[in-house]
């Protein structure tokens, strides 16, 4: 029997800044098919209603033909307070944006930082997470047109919806599946259908307001998704 953890929920998340977003400058190392590094990526931070702050974090796996599994520990840790702060252990190829979030207390000072270190193929990459004003973002509302992220419900249509970048292991839904029978994951999604084309001109070919893709978050189980929209 395999335990399936459904932790990440970042379906068409809106990411906007009050003044402007300065994207993290990732190390300028070339992508390869195999045998290279994975760099953590700091997307930004935002304030919560209770005074706490949330860091939004992703990564860039330069092994463009290879997913990698790196367990929590010496090669995948966040400090101080870790090593496990809900980060992924299964890394998909390429740039993955807004994969998980870390909440820090109201008392977290401007000069404090967390650091996420990933060691892949012998190459160590580390980034700091700070409350830098240039990285202050608004992930729940697009400032131009008031666009908000889709609301998604799993397993029960009447359950409380999840919305925005809410990838917390502590709030994950756990289900058990067998190799022979698999697991059906019912999902309901709704959206305000607002969009911005850059010029605000109507789209010539309107797209669905919500698209969903499934991916392994923590492995290394060999999970396959029976969906034309899935990815591993």
Structure tokens at 185: 């994951």
Contacts of 194 (CB under 8 A, 6+ apart): 142, 145, 146, 147, 148
* Domain assignments of the chain as residue spans, ordered by start: 13-138
pTM: 0.76
pLDDT beyond 50 at 208:
yes
pLDDT tens string 25-46: 555 566 666 679 999 999 999 9
Distance CA(67)–CA(93), nearest Å, equals: 5
pLDDT band at 213 (very low <50, low <70, confident <90, very high): confident
Q: What is the pLDDT of residue 232?
A: 46
The per-residue pLDDT for 37 is 93
Dihedral over Cα of 14, 18, 144, 23: its sign: negative
Q: Residue 217: is it exposed, middle or buried by C-beta count within 10 angstroms (0-12/13-18/19+)? A: buried
Is the model's pLDDT at 56 over the cut of 50?
yes
Asked if pLDDT for residue 102 goes beyond 80, the answer is yes
């Amino acid at each position: 029997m395999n335990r399936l953890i459904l932790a990440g929920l970042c379906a068409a998340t809106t990411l906007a800044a009050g003044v402007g977003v300065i994207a993290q400058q990732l190390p300028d190392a070339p992508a390869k098919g195999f045998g290279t590094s994975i760099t953590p990526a700091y997307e930004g931070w935002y304030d919560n209603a209770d005074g706490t702050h949330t860091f939004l974090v992703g990564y860039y796996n330069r092994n463009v033909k290879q997913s990698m599994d790196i367990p929590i520990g010496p090669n995948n840790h966040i400090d101080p307070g870790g090593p496990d702060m809900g980060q992924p252990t299964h890394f998909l190829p390429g740039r993955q944006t807004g994969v998980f979030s870390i909440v820090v207390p109201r008392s977290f000072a401007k000069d404090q930082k967390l650091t996420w270190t990933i060691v892949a193929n012998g190459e160590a990459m580390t980034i700091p997470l700070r409350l830098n004003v240039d990285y202050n973002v608004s992930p729940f509302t697009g400032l131009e047109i008031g666009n908000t992220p889709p609301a998604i419900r799993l397993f029960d249509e009447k359950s409380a919806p999840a919305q925005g970048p809410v990838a917390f292991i502590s709030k994950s839904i756990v289900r058990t599946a067998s190799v022979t029978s698999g697991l059906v994951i019912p999902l309901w999604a709704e959206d305000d259908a607002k969009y911005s084309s850059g010029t605000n001109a109507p789209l010539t070919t309107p797209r669905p307001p919500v698209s969903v893709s499934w991916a392994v978050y923590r492995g290394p189980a060999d999970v396959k998704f029976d969906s034309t929209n899935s990815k591993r």
